Amino acid sequence: MKHLSFTKIVVTLFVVVLLFSAGLDVYGQHNNIDYKQWSRIAISTVKKEYPAAQLTDYKYVGRAEVTAEEAKDIFNIVVKEGNESFNVKAEVFFNPKDGKLITVQLERVAS
């Protein structure tokens, strides 16, 4: 009986350490360059493109590696211009090694 309890404790500790390590790895990668700074750039670029519009919602879609020197964060932004609402996909390209902005691309997409 003691052997079974010891085994359960060891397995439980192993699983906890494994989950903790995986969480740190994902957290570290995701926050290497914080997506929030790119969201501000995406939003300000959409505001410049549609100055008379209201931005009613936005969603961080995720990050994609383009090359070793280029990554992009993708955002969906809901724009209301007059009586019309539509979505804009904003892709913010940056260098993941030094955190410098490369470019921002906007694409109006069907709602």
- Look-up: residue for tokens 């691309």? 105
Please check whether residues 54 and 26 belong to one and the same domain. Answer: no
Is 106 strand, coil or helix? strand
Asked if the model's pLDDT at residue 30 lies above 60, the reply is no
89 shares a domain with 40: yes
Range of 20's domain?
Answer: 1-31
Question: 1-19, pLDDT tens digit by residue?
Answer: 555 565 565 555 444 444 4
Both 55 and 38 in one domain: the answer is yes
Question: Residue 111 has what pLDDT?
Answer: 62
> Are residues 55 and 18 part of one domain?
no
Domain co-membership, 63 together with 25: no
The predicted model scores a pTM of 0.69
* Residues 84-100, mean pLDDT to the nearest whole number: 94
Together in a domain, 20 and 57: no
44-88 pLDDT, tens digit per residue, is 999 999 999 999 999 999 999 999 999 999 999 999 999 999 999
Least confident of 25-39, 53-67, 87-101: 25-39
Phi, psi of 26 (to 5 degrees): -65, -45
Asked if residue 41 and residue 1 are part of one domain, the reply reads no
Asked whether residue 43 falls in the same domain as residue 27, the answer is: no
Q: How many CA atoms lie within 13 A of 75 on its CB side?
A: 27
DSSP H/E element including 19: helix 2-30
- Please give the C-alpha separations between residue 74 and each of 13, 25, 60, 100, in angstroms, as whole numbers: 37, 21, 6, 16
Pair (102, 87) in one structural domain: yes
Per-residue confidence (pLDDT) for residue 23, from 0 to 100: 46
pLDDT value of residue 22: 46
Q: Is 45 left (phi over 0), alpha (psi -120 to 50) or beta?
A: alpha
Residues 55, 85 within the same domain = yes
Domains contained in the chain, number: 2
Q: Within this chain, do residues 42 and 78 fall inside the same structural domain, yes or no?
A: yes
87 beta partners: 78, 109
Predicted confidence at residue 47, as pLDDT, reads 96
Chain CA centroid to CA 61, Å:
6
